[in-house]
Amino acid sequence: MIKKQLLCCSVVFMLVLLSKLYSYNLVANMETFGTLSHDTLSLAELLQEDISGIRNTPYFASLSFADETLPLGDKQIEKKMLKHLKEYSFAKQRSYLLHHKAMKALPRIAAILRKYGIPEDFKYVPLVESGFTSGTTSRRGASGYWQFMPNTAKAFGLQVDDVIDERQDVEKSTIAAAKYLKSLYGEFNSWTLVAAAFNIGEGNLLRAINRQNEDNYFRLKLNRETGNYLYKLISVKEIIEHPNLHGYRTKKIQLASATTQADSLAHHGRL
């Protein structure tokens, strides 16, 4: 009788022990599943989470191009802006190439733009258009730092023929770009629309504005390239002007700046 009781107690004890072990494993598995689920959230969900965190911050409200701000409160616009900021972050780019090019080129470009009364934010256009690389030519025939089409380049004073292509000259092409941008502003009276027209052509942009009865760039339905254009310009501006906020290290940028200055002095025979 005693043996039977001991046997029953042993069985009960084993059952309780197995139950505890099963419960522990179940909790552990649920925690692991929760972690995996969080890690594999869709991109849209992650963007939405990020927007809810920064959409009402002073930084997000300050995002602008040529002093024209984004229409805040529109979740689609905010999500699109955040997507492009992420694309240009150090986590995505893993390079300081844009900063190196910016330090080399932007001071010269900005000085010319100021002379013609063009907002300095347009100095970022060549970084987006051509990566500030001479000789870059699109399949449509746009070429040079500012990606001028041949006829537009000629209309604003550049020589483009079989012998000379002044679209590849930084100073001359920037002067032509400043004149073109100024003429576009006289037509559109909005610098964001000017940037869009520079990319798509004034005729195409005017037709889109008239067809949609909408003159706010951020609310216009445009082709993919032009529809992303201002978002790219703002993103490039932000990573250049506020690199630390986007994962770039200031010390490495300063090192690139010192190297660029040394190269410039050596080129002019001062080292």
Residues of the chain with pLDDT under 50: 1-9, 11-48, 256-271
Residue 98: predicted pLDDT: 80
Residues in Cβ contact with 262 at an 8 Å cutoff, skipping those fewer than 6 apart: 271
Tell me the domain boundaries of the chain: 2-40, 94-267
Total residues belonging to the chain: 271
DSSP symbols for 95-147: --HHHHHHHHHHHHHHHHHHHTT--GGGGGHHHHHTSS-TT-B-TTS-BTTTT
Burial class (CB in 10 A: 0-12, 13-18, 19+), 184: buried
Write the DSSP symbol of residue 149.
-
pLDDT at res. 148: 96
- Predicted TM-score (pTM) of the model is 0.75
Residue 154: predicted pLDDT = 97
Question: What was the pLDDT predicted at 113?
Answer: 98
CA distances to 41, 55, 85, 111, 123 from 82, rounded to whole Å, are 17, 9, 5, 30, 22
Record: fold of 94-267 = Lysozyme (1.10.530)
Contact (Cβ atoms closer than 8 angstroms) between residue 177 and residue 195: no
The predicted pLDDT at position 104 comes to 83
**Cα end-to-end distance, the chain, whole Å:** 104
